[in-house]
Structure 1
Amino acid sequence: MAAGPEPQPAPDGDRVPAEPGGRTAAWYRHFGTVEAPGSSPCYAEWTVGIADDPQLIARINHWPHHKRQPNLLLAAARFLGAVPGPFDQFRCFLESRWDDISRIVLSRSTQTNEAGRCATLLPSLAAISGAESKPLALLEVGASAGLVLYPDRYRYEYDDGATVTRLSPSPSAGESGSVADVPILRCSTSGAVPLPLELPRVVWRAGIDLNPLDVGDPDDVAWLEALVWPEQEFRRRRLRQAVAIAREEPPLLVAGDLNEKLLDLAAKAPVDATLVVFHSAVMGYLSADGRSTFRQAMLQLTASRGCHWLSNEGHMVIHQEDGSNVVPEVAPERILGRFLLTHNGSPVAITGPHGQSLEWL
């Protein structure tokens, strides 16, 4: 299961008007006019340019539907050396490298592994550890390279507009070189966020992914860097610091479908630790049946093992394919562009997709 990409299905006719080029052109125009502005002017210009280019849209339409998403094409081009600049320059690059771009698109997936999400998960993780009086065993589904499995190894700054709360790892949490080598995860907060006094202790880290990425493989790390949007150099720097930490103590990563591997991997967690299964921007890749199967597995784990389940997902997952609403307590429009964090199915916060904000409910 791919981790991290904010999977955005091609917009349907209810949200984006029909236009020449059909759903794919609408998808790229939506990305360029709604998702990218404010975060990446470069990607906004490039994707609007693609939407206006029938030849490029026709080429993209030769790929399977799930391979047409803007983030994947853009990352493939960046992986191969495309540099920020005018769309005409980018289009020339696409023309000259299309076969290579197609190869990358068809062999890779959008596995953004944003360590910053630990900032929005940390209050819940610390509360779980405190309530159970036990260290944590973490299992992430859609783990990519596993960088979100190290919440105890990062530094944090929470800013509520009046006060900045800082948290750092204990000396026993691991060796990460100088303090300057430990990434700082900055997060703006609102509401009564239960910030911990110290970071929880983590004694086991594991993950499942259809194609786990190896922090020791330069190509895999280069792919992770290509998934960071051009103007967000701070995220690229943070990624490199998180990769260095993961290389010191690589997590246990299992390749396979999350619904096939979850229970067996959960059984390997130490019994004297509190098991927490979590995921971010993953459920959108599953069908309604797949999500239902996963929920049933989580209900089984919470009942039999006392496991805790943290779900951090975008609004597309709230409206299921069968028309049901998973969390009727929170209107979907409140989550547009953000994620909903739930603990054992109960909504607790609305979060920034890269961990940049935390609104406690």
Structure 2
Amino acid sequence: MLLGIAADLPPDRQPALLLSAAVRKLAVERGGDLARYFPVPGEPQPAQDAGFTPALAAFARAEREELARLCAGHRYQMTEVARCLDVLPALAVVAAEDPRPLALVDLGTGAGLGLRPDRYAYCYRLPDGRELRCGAGPLELSCEVRGGTPPVPPQPPVITARVGVDVEPHDLADPATRTWLAACVPPEAGAVSRFATATDLALADPEPIVRGDVVDVLVDVVSGLPSDALVCLVDTYVHVFLGPERLAAFGDALARAGRDLEWISVDPLVPLGPEARSTVQGLAVPDHWIAENREGGVFGVIGRVSVRDGERRGTVLGRAHPSAAWLEWLPG
């Protein structure tokens, strides 16, 4: 049943993930035998037992038409606030070099959960058992550290202005939108709880989001930010979906913005797949990263591009698990 639904979906709609989200959304709404296998915010991970497979099969038979309808009317949208763990050390590097407060532009912001990296608490677990902690707040994000020690300050850098950009922003105030985004979160207790808390914070303190293509609106968005701030563009798993021409156009937009800025990217190597050899910022990476990517180990490269007085320079800072389970920081 499920394979038949997935086979009818276009490949670019990510059929397996889309169908998984539809099953979860509908199962939770129906509240039957299958629902007990999905985690809820603040509760431990439900136990998996032999009853899952028959419950899923029975649910698929009974709800095939509704599952197909849900898949036809939605797109899969990964919303992982834990990726702020990858961004925070890069922001710290920028802030340590430049005294200006930061004006944050979250590119491809979606639901806007990445607009508040300074309002979360962070815990980075080092190989020797120590923990690096930063900030405070109702939501703590944590990950394992590999490689070098990331520059984690006691408090996040000061962000004086912030704005999100997305071609199709998600309105968390709409219950239907919020329910669908929750269904797209991986069915793991920690991820589910993170999303719920981050959503509550976003609803309590909404930030501006501009509707538009990240390339087309960049110059106008940047021009509207405080002149005494250092503009810091952040994208996590956004530019990887831009083709070579659009990436080049984004580079042109950086130049046309006409002011100092930073671009922090957390994106897989491009082009997607075994032939990938570079980053979306055009930066070289260690050879063994290319080999690991070729073998199927997808990860996000943390890159930094600085523009000062019209001159552009870039460096690779590290790499990270797609859901921020680990962070590898390059020494030096």
Q: State TM-score, norm by structure 2.
A: 0.79
Kept in 1: contact 2:135–2:154 (CA 8 A)? no
Q: Distance in 2 between matches of 1:255 and 1:270?
A: 20
Say whether 1:337 aligns with 2:283.
no
Tell me the amino acid that sits aligned with residue 329 of structure 2.
W
Alignment of 1:110-125 (within 5 A): 110-125=76-91
Tell me the amino acid that sits aligned with residue 263 of structure 2.
W
Q: Distance in 2 between matches of 1:324 and 1:120?
A: 19
Kept in 2: contact 1:283–1:317 (CA 8 A)? no
Alignment of 1:311-322 (within 5 A): 311-317=265-271
Per-residue deviation, 1:330: 2.8
Kept in 2: contact 1:340–1:350 (CA 8 A)? yes
Equivalent residue for 1:192, pick from 140, 145, 149: 149
Residue aligned with 1:188, SS: strand
Say whether 1:90 aligns with 2:48.
no
Aligned residue number for residue 296 of structure 1: 252
Aligned residue number for residue 26 of structure 1: none
Report how many aligned residue pairs link the two structures.
293
Aligned residue number for residue 33 of structure 1: none
Change (3 A) 1:334 1:134: farther
Residue aligned with 2:176, SS: helix
Q: Deviation string for 1:303-331 (max 9, x for gaps)? A: x2111001101235466999877433333
Q: Distance in 2 between matches of 1:194 and 1:75?
A: 36
Kept in 2: contact 1:75–1:227 (CA 8 A)? yes
Q: State TM-score, norm by structure 1.
A: 0.73
Q: Distance in 1 between matches of 2:66 and 2:218?
A: 35
Relative contact order (alpha carbons < 8 A, sep ≥ 6): 1 or 2 greater? Answer: 1
Q: Percent identity?
A: 27
Q: Distance in 2 between matches of 1:284 and 1:126?
A: 24
Residue aligned with 1:358, SS: strand
Alignment of 1:1-361 (within 5 A): 56-81=2-27, 83=35, 84=37, 86-162=52-128, 163-169=130-136, 182-190=138-146, 191-230=148-187, 232-301=188-257, 304-317=258-271, 326-331=282-287, 332-335=290-293, 336-344=297-305, 345-361=314-330
Per-residue deviation, 1:90: 2.1
Q: Distance in 1 between matches of 2:270 and 2:278?
A: 12
Residue aligned with 1:213, SS: coil
Q: Distance in 1 between matches of 2:243 and 2:226?
A: 31
**Unaligned residue ranges in structure 2 (runs of 5+):** 28-33, 38-50, 306-313
Change (3 A) 1:317 1:140: farther
Per-residue deviation, 1:152: 0.7
Q: Deviation string for 1:276-329 (max 9, x for gaps)? A: 11111122332332233223323444xx21110011012354669998774333
Tell me the amino acid that sits aligned with residue 217 of structure 1.
D
Change (3 A) 1:215 1:66: same
Q: Distance in 1 between matches of 2:94 and 2:277?
A: 32
Kept in 1: contact 2:268–2:301 (CA 8 A)? yes
Q: Deviation string for 1:199-245 (max 9, x for gaps)? A: 11112221122321122222222222211222x11111111111121
Q: Distance in 1 between matches of 2:322 and 2:160?
A: 26
Kept in 2: contact 1:152–1:201 (CA 8 A)? yes
Per-residue deviation, 1:94: 3.0
Q: Distance in 1 between matches of 2:325 and 2:89?
A: 14
Kept in 1: contact 2:89–2:150 (CA 8 A)? yes
Kept in 2: contact 1:288–1:322 (CA 8 A)? no
Kept in 1: contact 2:6–2:16 (CA 8 A)? no
Q: Distance in 1 between matches of 2:318 and 2:235?
A: 15
Q: Deviation string for 1:152-181 (max 9, x for gaps)? A: 101111111221121224xxxxxxxxx5xx
Tell me the amino acid that sits aligned with residue 17 of structure 2.
N
Q: Distance in 2 between matches of 1:320 and 1:135?
A: 40
Tell me the amino acid that sits aligned with residue 324 of structure 2.
G
Change (3 A) 1:286 1:101: farther
Change (3 A) 1:296 1:234: same
Residue aligned with 2:110, SS: coil
Per-residue deviation, 1:68: 3.8
Tell me the amino acid that sits aligned with residue 139 of structure 2.
P
Kept in 1: contact 2:269–2:276 (CA 8 A)? no
**Unaligned residue ranges in structure 1 (runs of 5+):** 1-54, 170-178
